[in-house]
Amino acid sequence: MATAAAPGLPTLRQMLNATLKELAAQLAARKVSSVELAQYFLKRIETLGSQLNAFISVDPERSLAQARAADALIAAGSAQALTGIPVAHKDIFCARGWLTTCGSRMLSNFVSPYDAHVIERYNQAGAVIVGKTNMDEFAMGSSNETSYYGPVRNPWDTAAVPGGSSGGSAAAVAARLAPVATGTDTGGSIRQPAALCGVSGLKPTYGVVSRYGMIAFASSLDQAGPFARTAEDLALMLNVMAGFDARDSTSLERAPEDYSRALTRPLKGLRVGLPAEFFAEGLAPDVARAVEAAIAEFKKLGCETVEVKLPNMRLSVPVYYVLAPAEASSNLSRFDGVRYGHRASEYTDLADMYRKTRAEGFGAEVKRRILIGTYVLSAGYYDAYYLKAQKLRRLIAQDFVEAFKKCDIIMGPTTPTAAFNLGEKAQDPVQMYLSDIYTIAVNLAGLPGMSIPAGFGAGNRPLGLQVIGNYFCEAQMLNVAHQFQQVTDWHLRTPPGFAQ
Amino acid sequence: MEWETVIGLETHAQLSTRSKIFSGASTAFGAAPNTQACAVDLALPGVLPVMNRGAVERALRFGLAVGATINARSVFARKNYFYPDLPKGYQISQYELPIVAGGSLRIVIGDREKIVHLTRAHLEEDAGKSLHEDFHGMSGIDLNRAGTPLLEIVSEPEMRSAEEAVAYAKALHALVRWIDICDGNMQEGSFRCDANVSVRPLGSDKLGTRCEIKNLNSFRFLERAIDFEVRRQIEVIEDGGHIVLETRLYDPDRDETRSMRSKEEAHDYRYFPDPDLPPLVVSEAWREAVRAALPELPAAMCERFINDYGVSEYDARLLISSRDFASYFEAAAQRLIELNPAQLGNEEEARRNYGLAIAKGMSGLLAAQLNRAELDIAHAPVSAAQFAVLHARMIQEVVTSKSAREILLALWESPQTDESAIDAIIEAKGLKQVGDADELGGIVDGVLAANARQVADYRSGKEKAFNSLVGQVMKATGGKANPKLVQEILKRKLEG
């Protein structure tokens, strides 16, 4: 094979902050090979990444094999937008031949025999799996402290949490351990860590990305989405991930769309809805200031603001903590030690095997949610909890329907505060649950939501602006975010210590 | 005190789809353990169920066949419990909103008819199988059956005896095969019943406490289990005890039921709508397309056979014992009408005469032969057309009914497809009946000469002796004599 001129160090350094489009151009021009890119990021994971604990699995052999295949595609001139690009995948996605743990001891020995839809799509696009990222156990957590593999640290301040549950993916992108990453969002698990790590993250409309092969936490809320630095990159990733999949009955059959198509559209006349409930008690002053400054930028871009009301949003945390555990308690029943995964080494009979296996295999937060979920579904409590919560869920969704009659897009803070310290909320589940107060309602309604970098708060920790669109308005949200990123540079900042 | 038995049945009919209810794995019976269990059936992390439309269509067929309401929207729920052969830790079933509601089934007990109402029928998946032998103290799990589609059909508690319960189960069994939604193979577990049994003082309108007897996979076990359970319950109550609400198992070896678990031990299944499956929506168009494709149902066919072909109710019921049997009848009757061997001018008369002839032939000659050969009519070596030709030759008095049996057996031994085979066999075996009066007269003379005693008996008034003489003549002709002619000649000669 004819080799292009060996890339010098400067070329690789350029890769550090390159967008997907730039990387693709470098690959196409043979300035760099996919193998070199993979080696470069694998090296960063090994050296710089060790202090972050952002990855559960790296498998250089597998990654490089994929990279070699990608190089062949590029050489043959059949590259697509993501061919040869390293991507980090949350360890919630089953990937054939990869250890797929979901952050749990329960699956600490589970090598998936099949690919999730999301993995399949990235593989088909020629992307290279650079590793599987750390996460809260079974995606249950907002700080990445519930992982069996230990907490992830925030690249901006290793004393701080990266957020969760997709903390590993957010930290990896922030620290440039991978150009982009995938995550999942059940109550804010993409948007919250994106905000706390200063990257961009998008949770699409429920049903846009197939859940096939994505280990279920709360099936009616779970949705996969991308992490990147820029909205432009998110659009390219969504182009790969989105689309109908007959293997997921909740996947929506819609015509494929190009999520990049509206990026450059001017925002003049766009009506931005500001829910009063987003700016009430509990919002830290630094976050409030950053969000207000961002909104001022949008006004400069020609947007109008309108006040909207989400009166039932205050119910979203309690509703969520009935419904999500209810579904989880049932979804996690399959982890019983019978067919795969962890099994207790000694037991007296079947019931004892179940008891010990699950006692050993699950961590405290997972057990707490299984207990809550089992309780709310029990005879005599079902109506008072589960059924009531379902009714309130519809009211919460209806609030958004009303709000979108007055505006085109909704904005507010992603989180009430900047990243908190490791251990700070670990012993107080309710405080922890409240860190998702602005994101959960979006999942309950099934709406698309995203978080984009909007500044820095106390301790120079990043802050996020949440952008909520109407159903299937991802392209418009990406347009809004992209226009914002043309006039701000928060998304381009690199955490000190990871800039080289 | 006199007691009344109250029985309701829950029947699991395995739907005859080629793949499972929520996965693409095969449902074929008898494969090596765990070779027909895909990632979905194994409940690997991340897999999701996808509804099999074929299973829904079969449920619709059933609902329409029993005159039930088809719910335009029904919901799949999760029934949560732990067991090693239940891979997901929950069974997907329909709970609050089943696809089929109501409906009824006509059953026949002896010569009595009864309408049994249905509560509902819902779709669900089967579990796998636990194998407790041959594993040295461990259990084996076979997940081939996991995810097999089932229709659970629930009756109202309207049966009043084991006999009625069996009649209901048989009628249901015949129906699911008739509408081709279940192969009905009870040994393989494709059709199995749970019986809810209670007793109460005769005349009481309050239901007694019931026991549920699980997994009865033959009509005989169903009958015996209920009989035992009724005796047991009456005994308990008459001894001053109470019936406990519980699940019981029937042990065929000891012919008794025994307790499996009581209500206190019953699971809280924590049913809730399965978030992986959107509500099942059946459009009017789909429902009507299924209705249009339904075969004529047994009850309607039974009535038509009685009205159109003049068949007795008893014979009509036999003819509709299966769809194959019924279509064989119609095909044979139609062919016989075309052949019109008696040259009847009146169309209705033709239909009635020929229909009756075929019905009689099927309930007698053919049914007996099928039973002996343990064959289903679909595999009978004699085609409906051949059967019609055979009857035509009898009506034309070409062969006697005795010879007809011989022809049938000959064809059974070496099957041929063409209907001309009948005439070929008559020819080859020389079975054409002897209808020549002169020839017969000579034979009769010989018989009379050889049986002087019977002749004397007859003449002294013993009518029976006549039959014996007819028999002798028939024997002498190898069964080929025209019986009517034989009687005529005999009578003339004896009385002349």
Segment holding B164, helix H or strand E: helix B162-178
Task: Please state the three-class secondary structure of A247-313 as a single string.
Answer: CCCCCCCCCCCCCCCCCCCCCCCCEEEEEHHHHCCCCCHHHHHHHHHHHHHHHHCCCEEEEECCCCH
B90 to A100: CB separation less than 8 angstroms, yes or no: no
DSSP β-bridge partners for residue A275:
A308
Q: Give the CATH number, domain containing residue B453.
A: 1.10.10.410
| Of the residues B373, B400, B429, the one at which a domain ends | B429
A contacts of B43 (beta carbons < 8 Å): 334, 339
Tokens of A196: 């706390």
| Residue A326 contacts B, CB cutoff 8 Å | yes
Q: Please tell me whether residues B382 and B442 are part of one structural domain.
A: no
- pLDDT tens track for B399-443: 888 889 999 999 999 899 898 999 999 988 888 877 777 888 888
Is residue A142 part of the annotated active site? The answer reads no
Is residue A189 part of the annotated active site? The answer reads yes
Say yes or no to pLDDT of A6 above 60. Answer: no
The total of other beta-carbon atoms located within 10 Å of residue A498's CB is: 19
| Residue A354 contacts B, CB cutoff 8 Å | yes
B contacts of A371 (beta carbons < 8 Å): none
What's residue B82's pLDDT? 95
A339 to B87: CB separation less than 8 angstroms, yes or no: yes
What's residue B397's pLDDT? 86
| Of the residues B291, B318, B353, the one at which a domain ends | B291
The total of other beta-carbon atoms located within 10 Å of residue A183's CB is: 33
Decide: A308 and A398 in contact? Cβ < 8 Å: no
Tokens of A404: 């979108």
What's residue A9's pLDDT? 55
B47 to A212: CB separation less than 8 angstroms, yes or no: yes
Q: Where are the alpha helices (DSSP H) in B340-463?
A: 347-361, 367-373, 384-395, 401-413, 421-429, 437-450, 452-459
Spatial separation of the C-alpha atoms in residues B359 and B370, rounded to whole Å: 15
- pLDDT tens track for B220-237: 999 999 999 999 999 999
A–B CB contacts, 8 A cutoff, strictly below: 95
**Which residues, at least 6 apart from B231, have a Cβ–Cβ distance to it below 8 Å?**
none
Question: Which residue in the set B42, B46, B270 is minimally distant from A214, CB to CB?
Answer: B46
Is residue A90 part of the annotated active site? The answer reads yes
Q: Please tell me whether residues B276 and B333 are part of one structural domain.
A: no
Tokens of A494: 């690199």
What's residue A8's pLDDT? 58
Question: Which residue in the set B45, B47, B277 is minimally distant from A102, CB to CB?
Answer: B45
- pLDDT tens track for A240-289: 999 999 999 999 999 999 999 999 999 999 999 999 999 988 899 999 99
A contacts of B272 (beta carbons < 8 Å): 326, 330, 377, 382, 386
Q: Please tell me whether residues B243 and B379 are part of one structural domain.
A: no
What's residue B328's pLDDT? 95
A contacts of B88 (beta carbons < 8 Å): 333-334
**DSSP letter assigned to residue B362:** I
Q: How many domains does chain B have?
A: 3
Nearest CA distance, B22 vs chain A (angstrom): 10
Mean pLDDT of A129-156: 98
Task: Please state the three-class secondary structure of chain A as a single string.
Answer: CCCCCCCCHHHHHHHHCCCHHHHHHHHHCCCCCHHHHHHHHHHHHHCHHHHCCCEEECCHHHHHHHHHHHHHHHHCCCCCCCCCCEEEEECCECCCCCECCCCCHHHCCCECCCCCHHHHHHHHCCCEEEEEECCCHHHCCCCCCCCCCCCCCECCECCECCCCCCHHHHHHHHCCCCCEEEEEECCCCCHHHHHHHCCEEEECCCCCCCCCCECCCCCCCCEEEEEECCHHHHHHHHHHHCCCCCCCCCCCCCCCCCCCCCCCCCCCCCEEEEEHHHHCCCCCHHHHHHHHHHHHHHHHCCCEEEEECCCCHHHHHHHHHHHHHHHHHHHHHHCCCCCCCCCCCCCCCHHHHHHHHHHHHCCHHHHHHHHHHHHHHCCCCCHHHHHHHHHHHHHHHHHHHHHCCCCCEEEEECCCCCCCECCCCCCCHHHHHHCCCCCHHHHHHCCCEEEEEEEECHHHCEEEEEEEECCCCHHHHHHHHHHHHHHCCHHHCCCCCCCC
**Which residues, at least 6 apart from B21, have a Cβ–Cβ distance to it below 8 Å?**
B15, B51, B52, B55, B92, B123, B124, B125, B147, B148, B149, B150
| Residue A116 contacts B, CB cutoff 8 Å | yes
Q: Please tell me whether residues B344 and B462 are part of one structural domain.
A: no
Residue of B nearest to A138 (CA): B45
**Amino acid (1-letter code) at residue B278:** P
Average pLDDT, chain A: 95
**Which residues, at least 6 apart from A470, have a Cβ–Cβ distance to it below 8 Å?**
A400, A404, A408, A409, A447
What's residue A429's pLDDT? 85
Helix, strand counts (H, E) of chain B:
16, 17
Position A10 confidence tier, pLDDT thresholds 50, 70, 90: low
What's residue B360's pLDDT? 92
What's residue A122's pLDDT? 98
Q: State the ipTM, two decimals.
A: 0.95
- pLDDT tens track for B11-32: 999 999 999 999 999 999 889 9
Residue found by looking up tokens 């119609």 in the block: B330
B contacts of A112 (beta carbons < 8 Å): 44-46
| Mutation target among B22, B40, B47 for the A interface, most CBs of A within 10 A | B47
- pLDDT tens track for A440-482: 999 999 999 999 999 999 899 999 999 999 999 999 999 999 9
Q: Which of A57, A189, A200, A260 is the catalytic position?
A: A189
Spatial separation of the C-alpha atoms in residues A217 and A243, rounded to whole Å: 21
Nearest CA distance, A214 vs chain B (angstrom): 5
A213 to B46: CB separation less than 8 angstroms, yes or no: yes
Tokens of A441: 């309602």
Spatial separation of the C-alpha atoms in residues B84 and A357, rounded to whole Å: 13
Q: Please tell me whether residues B225 and B349 are part of one structural domain.
A: no
A102 to B88: CB separation less than 8 angstroms, yes or no: no
Q: How many domains does chain A have?
A: 1
Q: Which of A90, A203, A356, A425 is the catalytic position?
A: A90
Mean pLDDT of A339-343: 97
Nearest 5°: the CA angle B411, B412, B416 is 50
What's residue B454's pLDDT? 85
Say yes or no to pLDDT of A165 above 90. Answer: yes
B contacts of A334 (beta carbons < 8 Å): 43, 45, 87-89
What's residue A4's pLDDT? 45
- Interhelix angle for B437-450 vs B452-459, to 10°? 90
A contacts of B90 (beta carbons < 8 Å): 330, 333
| Of the residues B246, B267, B291, the one at which a domain ends | B291
Say yes or no to pLDDT of A2 above 50. Answer: no
Task: Please state the three-class secondary structure of A354-410 as a single string.
Answer: HHHHHHHHCCHHHHHHHHHHHHHHCCCCCHHHHHHHHHHHHHHHHHHHHHCCCCCEE
B contacts of A102 (beta carbons < 8 Å): 45
Residue of B nearest to A326 (CA): B272
Spatial separation of the C-alpha atoms in residues A479 and A363, rounded to whole Å: 41
Question: Which residue in the set A107, A212, A326 is minimally distant from B48, CB to CB?
Answer: A212
Nearest CA distance, B102 vs chain A (angstrom): 26
Could you tell me the residue range of the domain that residue B479 belongs to?
A: 437-495
Of residues A204 and B493, the one with the higher pLDDT is A204
**Amino acid (1-letter code) at residue A106:** M
Question: Where does B82-155 show beta strands of DSSP type E?
Answer: 90-94, 100-101, 104-109, 112-125, 129-131, 140-142, 149-155
Spatial separation of the C-alpha atoms in residues A369 and A326, rounded to whole Å: 8
Residue found by looking up tokens 């205050």 in the block: A314
Q: Please tell me whether residues B300 and B285 are part of one structural domain.
A: no
Position B93 confidence tier, pLDDT thresholds 50, 70, 90: very high
pTM of the model: 0.90
Mean pLDDT of B462-483: 84
Could you tell me the residue range of the domain that residue A480 belongs to?
A: 1-500
Q: For chain B, list residues whose CB is within 8 angstroms of any CB belonging to chain A.
A: 39, 42-51, 78, 80, 82, 84, 87-90, 141, 268, 270-272, 275-278
**Burial of B308 by CB count in 10 Å (0-12 exposed, 13-18 middle, 19+ buried)?**
middle
What's residue A3's pLDDT? 44
What's residue B458's pLDDT? 86
Say yes or no to pLDDT of B357 above 50. Answer: yes
What's residue B209's pLDDT? 95
A contacts of B42 (beta carbons < 8 Å): 339
Q: Please tell me whether residues B417 and B446 are part of one structural domain.
A: no
Length of chain A: 500
Question: Which residue in the set B49, B78, B270 is minimally distant from A374, CB to CB?
Answer: B270
- pLDDT tens track for A43-75: 999 999 999 999 999 999 999 999 999 999 999
Give the three-state DSSP class for B351. helix
Q: Give the CATH number, domain containing residue A80.
A: 3.90.1300.10
- pLDDT tens track for B136-162: 778 899 999 999 999 999 999 999 999
DSSP β-bridge partners for residue A99:
A111
Question: Which residue in the set B42, B88, B275 is minimally distant from A333, CB to CB?
Answer: B88
Tokens of A43: 């090296």
| Residue A224 contacts B, CB cutoff 8 Å | no
Spatial separation of the C-alpha atoms in residues A302 and A299, rounded to whole Å: 5
Of residues B417 and A214, the one with the higher pLDDT is A214
Q: How close are the terminal C-alpha atoms of chain B, in Å? A: 70
Say yes or no to pLDDT of A7 above 80. Answer: no
| Residue A252 contacts B, CB cutoff 8 Å | no
Q: Please tell me whether residues B287 and B300 are part of one structural domain.
A: no
Question: Which residue in the set A250, A338, A377 is minimally distant from B272, CB to CB?
Answer: A377
Peptide bond connecting A147 to the previous residue in cis, omega within 30 degrees of 0 = no
| Residue A139 contacts B, CB cutoff 8 Å | no
Decide: A114 and A96 in contact? Cβ < 8 Å: yes
Nearest CA distance, A93 vs chain B (angstrom): 8
